[in-house]
Structure 1
Amino acid sequence: MTAFQQISVAVGKGFVRDKASLFFTFLLPLFFLVLFGILFGAMEGSESTLEPIQYIAPGILSFGIAMSAVFASALTLVSWRENGLLRKLQLAPVSPFTILTSRFSVTVIVAVLQAALFFAVAFLPFFGLRLESTWWMAVPLFLLGVLSFFSLGILIGSVFKTDQSASAASNLIVLPLGFLSGTFFPLDFAPSWMDTVSLASPLRHMNDGMLALLVRGEGPEALLVPCGALLLFALITTGLAGYFLTRGDQ
């Protein structure tokens, strides 16, 4: 078994054994789906607007993936540092790229399982979610979204040294992004400054792209701006994470 496989299996086992992580990873998006599905269930969309479930589902899924990816990568890095595993991995004949990609692969698998469970519930007659035929084009956007929030979590884990501080920082960053990115309400009804500020949020771009491809039926051109923004965000946060990790080892 290669080092990549060994680390991936170890991370996967750790995730499965953490009941709290399992609960919040898979049930938190469903909680928001049920909550907003009930709140907006009586509303109907017109010919020019989306039905509530069509609007809120892509955003809630993106938010759930963001939460799980950020928390998983941030707390994993902090845990590895606290128990000395990070130092052992750095001294082992394993490249940092292998370590990060193995952890990222587990994050992608979890995100895919999240999405599968989420859509299985959202497709129920009570919610009535319908996807357009262009849904499959959202796959690269989905992967770049996972990468962006994974890298954000690595940055948080690089800066904050304890579980409590990393968890608090993750909440303070991700929760406001949900409200600034149009996850729970359209930004058309928000102040203009909020719409401008939200352009710096990776969740805003993931939401916009998922909405365009999953339920609006737009073409591949809808991928350009969201994918570019997510890739740029991932590169910046990865670079910053590398800087803080290097400085912390000195």
Structure 2
Amino acid sequence: MSAVFRLIAFDFRLYLRDWLTIFWILIYPVLMLVIFGSMFGNQPGLTEGSRYIDFYVPALCAMNVLSISVFTLNINIITQREKGILRRYRVSPIPVSAVLASHAVQGIVLVAAGAVEIIVIAKLIWGISFTLSTFLTLLGCLLFGCIGFFSLGFALSGLANTAGAASGIAMVFFFPMLFLSGIAMPLNIFPQFMQTISGWIPMTYFVELVQGVWDNQELASFGTELAVMGGFAVLMVLLAFILFRWEN
């Protein structure tokens, strides 16, 4: 157990030194928040009496989970494999599960930090209102989504040998999910065929879930979303272990 904690501490120091991690998690979401919030923030939201910003905040928190998964976790594992770090782990008693768990812990810290940053800025600029219960429910849903999307990032790390190739693969997954899941803009403004496509994207259900609980809707009313996310998580966890490689 002590070896696992040392591994987590070591990985955490590596994450803090990565400027791309800082950009994608702490700068990029804020830029999107300020840009889209300035344009549409005070416009009517998806439910009566709400504003666009009230649904954009949880959507950005969900986007953070996706970007951490396909960019940060994916590329950092490949970088460690390129540098031979994973090869050295292989000859130690550290199992695959411990390696993935260590990266997942870093990801969870980043998700929580990013969510707090987004909510605080939205509170200061647009005066959004929420309760502690609502925030904790949102955080729980984000962590539930982390299971499937983090595992997606781990699975993608087994498909490339270099960080550059991994970035290209990540973009193939990131941008369609960004624009077709309701993060960048509401789905109801899309043509019908695009709405049909969005129904096949797991991120769509994740965004609907976090937007709903942030709007104080009962968690029990999102059975379909929770079921889809659960099935997605099981599939991605299996792929993460199947595709994991200690070396190129």
Shift of 1:134: 3.8
Partner of 1:12: 12
SS class of match (1:159): coil
Write the letter of the residue equivalent to 1:8: I
Aligned to 2:81: 81
**C-alpha distance 119-188 of structure 1, shift in aligned 2 (>3 A):** same
Structure 1 length-normalised TM: 0.90
The 1:47–1:173 alpha-carbon spacing in structure 2 relative to 1, beyond 3 Å, is: closer
* TM-score (normalised: structure 2): 0.90
Are the equivalent residues in 1 in contact too, given 2:87–2:247 (CA < 8 A)? Answer: no
Indicate the residue corresponding to 1:30 in structure 2. Answer: 30
Q: Judging changes above 3 Å, is the alpha-carbon distance between structure 1 residues 219 and 103 closer, same or farther for their aligned structure 2 residues?
A: same
Note if contact 1:134-1:219 (Cα within 8 Å) is conserved in structure 2.
no
Letter in 2 for 1:7: L
The 5-angstrom pairing of residues 1-250 of structure 1 reads 2-41=2-41, 43-44=43-44, 48=48, 50-124=50-124, 126-131=125-130, 134-215=134-215, 217-245=216-244
- How many matched pairs? 247
Aligned-pair identity in percent equals 23
Q: CA deviation at 1:223?
A: 4.2
**Residue 145 of structure 1 contacts residue 202 of structure 1 at CA under 8 Å; is this kept in 2?**
no
Does the CA-based 8 Å contact 1:209-1:222 persist in structure 2? no
Report the AA paired with residue 39 of structure 1.
M
- Give, in whole Å, the separation in 2 of the partners of 1:219 and 1:75: 36
Deviation at 1:138, TM superposition (A): 2.8
The CA deviation at 1:44 is 4.1
Q: Kindly tell me: are residues 241 and 41 of structure 1, through their superposed partners in 2, closer, same or farther at Cα, counting changes over 3 Å?
A: closer
Structure 1 gaps, min length 5: none
CA distance in 2, matches of 1:81, 1:105: 19
Query: CA deviation digits over 1:49-100, x for unaligned, max 9?
Result: 6311112111122112211232121112211211112122122111211121
Given residue 172 of structure 2, which amino acid in structure 1 is its aligned partner? L
- Structure 2 spans left out of the alignment, 5+ residues: none
Distance 2:45 2:2 in 1: 52
Distance 1:13 1:47 in 2: 43
2:36 maps to a residue whose letter is F
- Residue 106 of structure 2 aligns to which amino acid in structure 1? V
Deviates more, 1:46-55 or 1:221-230: 46-55
Question: How far apart are the structure 2 equivalents of 1:48 and 1:201?
Answer: 27
User: What CA distance in whole angstroms lies between the structure 1 residues aligned with 2:190 and 2:182?
Assistant: 9
- State the distance in 2 between where 1:47 and 1:170 align: 33
Corresponding letter in the other structure for 1:232: G
CA RMSD of aligned residues (A): 2.2
Residue 179 of structure 1 deviates from its aligned partner by 0.7
Deviations 1:93-144 (A, max 9, x none): 11211121121111101111111111110111x3222236544323332112
Q: CA 1:45–1:197 in 2, change beyond 3 Å: closer, same or farther?
A: closer
Indicate if the aligned counterparts of 1:138 and 1:214 stay in contact, CA closer than 8 A: yes
CA contact (8 A) 1:148 1:202 kept: no
Deviation at 1:38, TM superposition (A): 0.9
Contact kept? 1:134, 1:218, Cα under 8 Å: no
